[in-house]
Each structure stands twice: as C-alpha cells, then as structure tokens.
Amino acid sequence: MDKLFELGMAGIASSATIFIFLIFLFVVKEALPVFLGHVDTSKGGEILSPDQLERMNPGDVKEYLELTNEQYRRLDQDALRLMMEVKYQAAQDMATDPQAGLNTASWEHMIFPYQWTGYEQPGYIWQPVSSVPKFNLIPLLIGSLKTTLVALLFATPLALGAAVFVSQLCPSRFREWIKPSIELLAGIPSVVLGFFALMVLAGFLDRVFGVQTQLNASVAGIALGLAVIPIIFSISEDALSSVPRHYSESALALGSSPWFAAWKVVIPAAFPGIVAAIVLGFGRAIGETMIVLMASGNASIVSWNLGDSTRTMTATIAAEMAETVFGDPHYRILFMLGVMLFVITFCSNWIAGVVIQRLKHKMEAAG
Amino acid sequence: MSVSSPQFNTQWGTSSSNRQARQLHLVSRGMTLVTGLATFFVIAILLTVLADIVYHGWSALSWNFLFSGIGTDSFESGQLGLLPMMIGTVFKVFLMTLVVMPVGVITALYLTEYANPQSLLTRMIHSAVNNLAGVPSIIFGLFGWGFFIKFMGVGLDEAFSPNNPEPVWGKPAILWASMTLAIMTLPVVIVTTEEALKSLPDGLRYASYALGASRLQTLFKVLLPQAMPGILTGAILAIGRAAGEVAPLLFTGAAYYTAAYPWKLNDEFMDLGYHIYILATQSPDVENTTPVAYATVLVLLALTLGLNLMTILIRARIRHRYKQYQAVDG
C-alpha cells in the first residue's frame, strides 16, 4: 500500500518533467516543417478553373480549398464555387508578379536580404501578410536583442547596486523592509508595466529626449528593465548573502571599511551568482511579451537606433497568431520563433542554474 | 590591494599613506552612497508606478463601475462594468488552483519526503522545475494552443461529437486557459512547498515515528499541517502570478468581448489583464477609455499586490515560528 502510494507520487512528481518535454514537443511539432524546409509558399499547387467543381469529388474539393471537415459541411455549392473563383482570380493576379514563385519560407529568405519588387535596395523585410509574404527574421531578432540590451543596461546597475547595499552595507532594520518592497516590483503584472510605459513613460521620455516615435525600443526596454530588476536583485542578493559571514568579518577585522570588504571579498566570492542573475534577467527580458507588445511600437525595422519603433519576436507571436490560418507557412514560422525563444531561454536558465548550484555548494563548504 | 587603517598611519605616518587612507575612506563613503541611491531609486520607481495608477485610477472607480455587468461593446465606457472581467479572472484562477495545488504539493512531498535526493529522477525533476520557471509566458500560450486546443480539444471532439459542426472543446476556452496557467505556475507551488517541508525540523518526523505513526500518518497528520502556511504561500503566489498574466491567454481562451458570463468550462471569458491590453491599445476613443483603463489597472494591481503582501505577512509569521523550532532543537 505504502509502496503503491510512493509510486503514484513519483508519477505525479514527474509531471513537471513531462510538461517541459511536452512543451518542447508541441511547439517544435508545429514548427518542424519550417526547420526541415518542407514549407513552401510558392506551392500554390495546380490551379483549377471554377467550372471543374461539378466533376470533383468532395475530398478533392476540401483539399484544394484547404477546408476542414466542419467548414466544408457548412458551405453550399454556390459558396464553394465562389471560393474557387476567388482562388482562380488570385492565381491570375499572382502570375504577373515574378516573385510570386519564390519560396519565401526558405532559410535563404528568412536570413539574408533580398531585392523585393517595389523596394529600392535589398532588404530584411518581415511582412507576412502580403501577396508575396516576406518572412525575414533579422528585424525581429534585432528588435528582441535591442530591447533586451536596453533593459539590462538599465536594470543591472540599479539591481546590483541595490543588492550590494541591502546585503552588505545597510543596517538590518532597513533590510527588512527594503527587500520585500523591491520584490513587490516582481508582483506587478507585466501588462500593468506595459500600460505604465504606454501612458506615462513614453510621454516622459518624449519630453526629455524628444524622440521621433513615441513608442520605441528605449521605452519598451526601460519598462522591461522594471520587470528584470527584481530578478537580478533577488538572485544576486541571495548570492551575496550566501557568502559566509566570516569572509567579510575577516576583512573588517583587518581594518577594511564595509564597502571594501564587500568590493574586495564578498563580491568576488559571489561573482558567479551575480553573472547568473544577469543571465536569468536576460532570459526573462527576451521572453517578456506584454510590455514590448504595448510599448515598443511594433514596427519591424532593421535599425540599432534606440529611438526607433521596434518589433520583438514575442510581440510578433502575440500579435500575429490570431490572423494566421492553422498550418500555413506564417503559422509555422511563428511557432518557429517560439522554438527559438524556448531554446534561448532554456539555455540561459540551464547555465544560470548550474552556476548557482555550484556556488551554493562552494559556499556551504566554505561556511 | 591593501586597505590601510588610520591607526597604522598615525604610527608610521607618512603624508602619502595618509592621503591614500583619506582617499580610500572617501571612495568607501561614496560607493555606499551610490549603492544606497540605486536602492532608493528602485523603490522610488515602484512608488511612482503605484502612485500614478492609484491617483488616476481612483477617480474613475465607482461601485457602479466595479459591480455592473456587460454592456453592448467592449469600449462603451459608460456602460461596461468590471464584473464580467472579475468573474472571468476569479473563475480562471479557481480552476487553475484546483489543478496546480494537488500536483505541486504532491511533487514537493515526493521530492522532500520520499525521493532519494541523488537519484536521476529527482535531479531531472529539479532541473525541469527550474527550466519550467524560465519558459517565456508566450510559449505557454503557444503550447496551450497546440496541446490543449488542437490536440486534446480536437481529440475530444472527434471522439465524442464527430457529427457536431461546431467545436465543443477544440476551441479557446476557460478550461484550457486555466490548464495552461496551471502548468506555468507549477514551479512556484513546488518550490515554496518544498521550502516549507524542508524547514520543518527532523525532530517532528522522528517524534511521530517514535509514537508508532506510519509514514502516511506522519505525512498527513504532522508534516502537512505544520507546512500549511508555506503551502498557502505557494498557492497565493501562484494565484497572484496567474491573475495578472496575459500572454498565455491570448490564444487559449481570453475573449475581446463576450455577451454572457462564463459559466461552462468551454466558454471563452473576459479577463482583467487582457481587458487592460485591449483598452490601452485597441480603443478607437482614447480620451474616454483612458480613465476606465486606469481604474481597471488599479483593480488588477490591488488584487495582485494584495496577494503578494499576504505572502510577505505569512512568511514573516513562518520565520517567527521557525525561530521557535530552532530554540527547541538547539
């Protein structure tokens, strides 16, 4: 009986492991054809004249018009004929554009610039809804990195300064209320931070710096920074506090001031933990959705200018999933963005986890 | 680098080492000030955000706005009250809690009371929990869509109602949104419960075994009640996180506007956080919706920060009790 109970518990306890595996599986599953190069935007297939409808069997019609069973059941013969006409007409129009035959979902077009008709020079274009959909990932990657960089540049000095102050320099009666209040920042939902960025921060930065577009990478980045501060703070504060007391006490006994004891002894000892905190902050910043969706302006431009509006990978998924058709190239590429994000955050978490674990062992051994 | 002390300098006193000592003293003071200012600045930002939202939100808040029902449109600021969003949020969080608490607590119990800490399974679970905590929330949304709606929902529909033209389960629904949030908040519950169980002194377990209690009895009669405040903290943290999270709901169940309250598991629902996003970004009439949006933000913030404050208070009490244990043990 007890054995059975234990087995059941082990089963339930493995669910976290199973879920992380399932998440990877199901996000990758939808994106796999893109990775393998099986998605082809040029493959319109054979275009049939609408008059052939009478001679086709239902299965072929369904496949040709890309309908699901339930959609097909709701359509009568006239509606089907209309759909065939629309498709026929679209194919006729497409034939005039020489780029219609390109497979824009190939790796070549997702990474390298291309001379699109109507553009002055070869460019990195993300324009998924268009007669020739363009899926270049570079603008989104730059957008994500840009906002993340701003967030880290803003958050790291503040969070580390606060962590050193709280764990090493300030009297303990202050620590007891400073620590929870900084951690309270983590309790603010990201949609609220996004709202604050949109309503207050954007106007404030505009007044101070006078940028071209009110919603831009720096507004989103600073708001992201607010979400990242509590993470960097609490993890580096933990790392600093885990350094055994006798380390800093020895330094103090030798006549060092509290700051130099922290700077020369405690911070070097806790350094891996501080790096881990920044890595985790990076993972959080690059994966954050609502803040960038609301405050970044969402224009997919290739530019490192922090005053330009920008579009990140997460915001792209959030904004465009609703307009995709299940299984089409756009849908699969959005899932591929998801896979990329998953891999990036998984790696940063894993690295940070290993570093923190090692530090903990070392400090326990030293203490 | 050596840090010279003032006493030594007066004894061996050269003017250059005196100056060095003064400089070091200044650097030390200066850096303490700088880090203190960084701390102050972070808290000032927090207070600014809170003050701005309370100031603007309070004036737009009224009983009628809080507890009136569904208007005819998402943007009819005069008519639409917050009741549907609050009901949606509470329902979503309730369903999530029903799933995440048993799974999370059992996992934590297994990890602390049963599993061998060195075994492969334990280490795998620990690293999975860590990684799950770092998965971006939008990925949970994609997963919820791919797994719950397209795999489970469509699967259920094909199994039980293949002739129904309208999908019953294979569509965004409050159940799927809650399940997605449950997976997202699982690490929070596991980690806090684990901490609570680990902080219980072994003396409690030995005393229970010594009185002839079985392992299960010890678990249910001694350990779980003792760890209850910690488990409660985990639940509240999970609820606080889930109440404000929007990204996982985008594809799994949150609706722009629904004409009725959600009262079936497969209904779509309106959510406070998602409603803020809609009001802030999609409104055709910004002037009129801004005060409404502020009031909505205030309600959500009061909810999530209220829950967070509760966990802080409970934790302070636990720490107090833990000190008592240490006194007894020591």
Q: Coil, strand, or helix at residue B41?
A: helix
Range of the domain at A49: 44-101
For residues B113 and B144, state if they share a domain: yes
Per-residue pLDDT of B257-280, as tens digits, reads: 777 788 888 888 989 999 999 989
Give yes or no for B60 touching A (CB within 8 A): no
Q: What's chain A's Rg over C-alpha atoms?
A: 27
Q: Report the pLDDT value the prediction gives residue B10, as an integer from 0 to 100.
A: 44
Give me the mean pLDDT over the B149-160 stretch: 90
For residues B36 and B116, state if they share a domain: no
Q: Report the pLDDT value the prediction gives residue A347, as an integer from 0 to 100.
A: 93
Inspect the interface and report whether the beta carbons of A23 and B34 lie closer than 8 Å.
no
- B5, B134, B294 member nearest A349 (Cβ): B134
Q: Which of residues 172-191 of A touch B (CB under 8 A)?
A: 178, 180-182, 184-185, 187-191
Q: Kindly tell me if the per-residue pLDDT of A46 is higher than 70.
A: no
Give me the mean pLDDT over the A194-204 stretch: 92
Any idea what DSSP says for residue A54? G
Q: Report the pLDDT value the prediction gives residue A288, as an integer from 0 to 100.
A: 94
For residues B189 and B216, state if they share a domain: yes
Give me the mean pLDDT over the B128-156 stretch: 92
Q: Report the pLDDT value the prediction gives residue B8, as an integer from 0 to 100.
A: 45
Q: Report the pLDDT value the prediction gives residue B44, as an integer from 0 to 100.
A: 96
Q: Which of A4-8, A208-212, A263-267, B46-50 has the lowest mean pLDDT?
A: A208-212
pTM for the complete prediction?
A: 0.87
Within a domain: residue A350? yes
Within a domain: residue B85? yes
Give yes or no for A283 touching B (CB within 8 A): yes
Give yes or no for A256 touching B (CB within 8 A): yes
From B68's Cα to the closest Cα of chain A, the distance in A is: 23
What percentage of chain A has pLDDT greater than the value 70? 94
- Give the type of residue at B67: F
Within a domain: residue B38? yes
Range of the domain at B187: 68-329
For residues A163 and A251, state if they share a domain: yes
For residues B135 and B209, state if they share a domain: yes
Give me the mean pLDDT over the A108-114 stretch: 81
User: Buried b / exposed e across B143-172, counting CB within 10 Å, b at 16+?
Assistant: bbbbbbbbeebbeebeeeeeeeeebebbbb
Give yes or no for B120 touching A (CB within 8 A): no
Q: Kindly tell me if the per-residue pLDDT of B146 is higher than 70.
A: yes
For residues A307 and A196, state if they share a domain: yes
Residues in chain A: 367
- A169, A180, A318 member nearest B250 (Cβ): A318
Within a domain: residue A7? no
Inspect the interface and report whether the beta carbons of A289 and B42 lie closer than 8 Å.
no
Q: Which of residues 131-170 of B touch A (CB under 8 A)?
A: 131-143, 145-147, 150-151, 165-167
Q: Which of A1-10, B85-94, B153-162 has the lowest mean pLDDT?
A: A1-10
State the Cα–Cα distance between residues B160 and B137, nearest whole angstrom.
Answer: 31
For residues A61 and A179, state if they share a domain: no
Rounded to the nearest 5 percent, the helix, strand and coil shares of chain A are: 75, 0, 25
Q: Kindly tell me if the per-residue pLDDT of B325 is higher than 90.
A: no
Q: Mutate which of B31, B157, B311 to test chain A, going by most A C-beta atoms within 10 A?
A: B31
For residues B195 and B80, state if they share a domain: yes
Per-residue pLDDT of B213-262, as tens digits, reads: 988 889 888 999 989 988 999 999 999 999 999 999 999 988 887 777 88
Q: Report the pLDDT value the prediction gives residue B144, as an integer from 0 to 100.
A: 93
Within a domain: residue B1? no
Q: Report the pLDDT value the prediction gives residue B11, as an integer from 0 to 100.
A: 45
For residues A241 and A314, state if they share a domain: yes
Inspect the interface and report whether the beta carbons of A229 and B42 lie closer than 8 Å.
yes
DSSP-derived secondary structure for A164-183: HIIIIIS-HHHHHHHHHHHH
Within a domain: residue B303? yes
Instruction: Tell which wins on pLDDT, A198 or B321.
Output: A198
Q: What is the total count of domains within chain A?
A: 2
For residues A187 and A235, state if they share a domain: yes
CATH number of the domain residue B203 falls in: 1.10.3720.10
Q: Which of A81-85, A332-336, B36-40 has the lowest mean pLDDT?
A: A81-85
ipTM given for this complex: 0.88
Chain A CB contacts of B215 below 8 Å: 2
For residues A273 and A339, state if they share a domain: yes
For residues A152 and A260, state if they share a domain: yes
Rounded to the nearest 5 percent, the helix, strand and coil shares of chain B are: 75, 0, 25
For residues B123 and B240, state if they share a domain: yes
Within a domain: residue B287? yes
From A149's Cα to the closest Cα of chain B, the distance in A is: 17
Chain A CB contacts of B102 below 8 Å: 12
Instruction: Tell which wins on pLDDT, A72 or B311.
Output: B311
CATH number of the domain residue A330 falls in: 1.10.3720.10
Residue A16's CB is within 10 A of a number of other CB atoms, namely: 27
For residues B191 and B53, state if they share a domain: no
For residues B191 and B212, state if they share a domain: yes
Q: Which of residues 14-73 of A touch B (CB under 8 A)?
A: 14-17, 19-20, 22-23, 26-27, 29-30, 70, 73
Within a domain: residue B63? no
Chain A CB contacts of B139 below 8 Å: 23, 27, 287, 338, 341-342, 345
Q: Report the pLDDT value the prediction gives residue A231, as an integer from 0 to 100.
A: 95
Q: Extract the tokens encoding A361.
A: 């062992």
Q: Report the pLDDT value the prediction gives residue B329, as an integer from 0 to 100.
A: 59
State the Cα–Cα distance between residues A13 and B192, nearest whole angstrom.
Answer: 15
B78 band by pLDDT with thresholds 50, 70 and 90: low
For residues A149 and A278, state if they share a domain: yes
Within a domain: residue B285? yes
Domain-ending residue, one of B19, B34, B58:
B58
- B38, B215, B276 member nearest A165 (Cβ): B38
- Name the average pLDDT for chain A: 86
B105 band by pLDDT with thresholds 50, 70 and 90: very high
Nearest to B38 by CA among A161, A151, A222, A169: A161
CA distances from B329 to B113, B202, B221 (A): 20, 9, 21
- Name the average pLDDT for chain B: 86
Give me the mean pLDDT over the B61-87 stretch: 72
Q: Which of residues 215-274 of B touch A (CB under 8 A)?
A: 215-216, 240, 243-247, 250-251, 273-274
Q: Report the pLDDT value the prediction gives residue B34, as an integer from 0 to 100.
A: 94
From A247's Cα to the closest Cα of chain B, the distance in A is: 15
Q: What is the total count of domains within chain B?
A: 2
Taking CA–CA distances from B277, the nearest residue in chain A reads A191
State the Cα–Cα distance between residues A143 and A217, nearest whole angstrom.
Answer: 8
A190 band by pLDDT with thresholds 50, 70 and 90: very high
Cα A264-A267-A271 angle, rounded to 5 deg: 130
Per-residue pLDDT of A48-65, as tens digits, reads: 677 777 777 777 777 677
